[in-house]
Chain A
Amino acid sequence: GAVVSQHPSRVICKSGTSVKIECRSLDFQATTMFWYRQFPKQSLMLMATSNEGSKATYEQGVEKDKFLINHASLTLSTLTVTSAHPEDSSFYICSASRSGEISGNTIYFGEGSWLTVV
């Protein structure tokens, strides 16, 4: 079946540095990918919708200059957390849609990336 892969699964970075998280669709082309953030014991909060070949659409309250999203190909979207701070420590999850229709059978989630900023 379709698989979405995230890398790295865990990363520790120093405060003030930037870190990049990759989201890849392994056996299908994804024109749209979504980035979520999940704090411990909380729900997934949508950060942005990543569209291949165009600018990402950010949710209200998400700083686009801090969370840089690049969807340069149909199989790869990247999230770069710039000037990371300890409060950015979280579980970041991406999902990818294999078709234009958004449904449970066409949206696939990655395994998530744990970011710890020290």
Chain B
Amino acid sequence: GENVGLHLPTLSVQEGDNSIINCAYSNSASDYFIWYKQESGKGPQFIIDIRSNMDKRQGQRVTVLLNKTVKHLSLQIAATQPGDSAVYFCAERGTGRRALTFGSGTRLQVQP
């Protein structure tokens, strides 16, 4: 089936630096993307989303960029804090589907 994957399994950054987490997807029919944060032993927590008719969306300290040409999604976290340490997943929804397909995840480690 279609796959949503990530380039970097682990990302280590210093507190205060900006973080960029990447995601590649292969389903060209996906029309909606979400970034989730998952802390150990907990369910995913919504961060930010973007629809396929957009290429950028900003939230509080986070920005999601979508490049449909190369099927690439990224999450930028500004001024990364220790509380940002977690595993981050991108998820996509294929056109006509109701369920989300999750990527393989990136662990973000923030060094104080």
Contact = CB atoms under 8 A, between A and B. Distances in A.
Interface residues of B, number: 22
Contacts of A111: 42-43
A93 interface: yes
B61 interface: no
Most buried by B among A4, A93, A103, A104: A104
Contacts of B100: 34, 46, 95, 102, 107
A93 B43 contact: yes
Given A103-B32, A104-B34, A104-B49, A93 B98 contact: no
The DSSP consensus for interface residues of chain A is: strand
A43 B89 contact: yes
Interface in A21-44: 32, 34, 36, 42-44
A54 interface: no
A103 B32 CA distance: 8
18 contacts: A34-B100, A42-B105, A43-B104, A44-B102, A45-B102, A46-B99, A46-B101, A49-B98, A102-B93, A102-B100, A103-B32, A104-B46, A104-B47, A105-B49, A107-B46, A109-B43, A109-B44, A112-B43
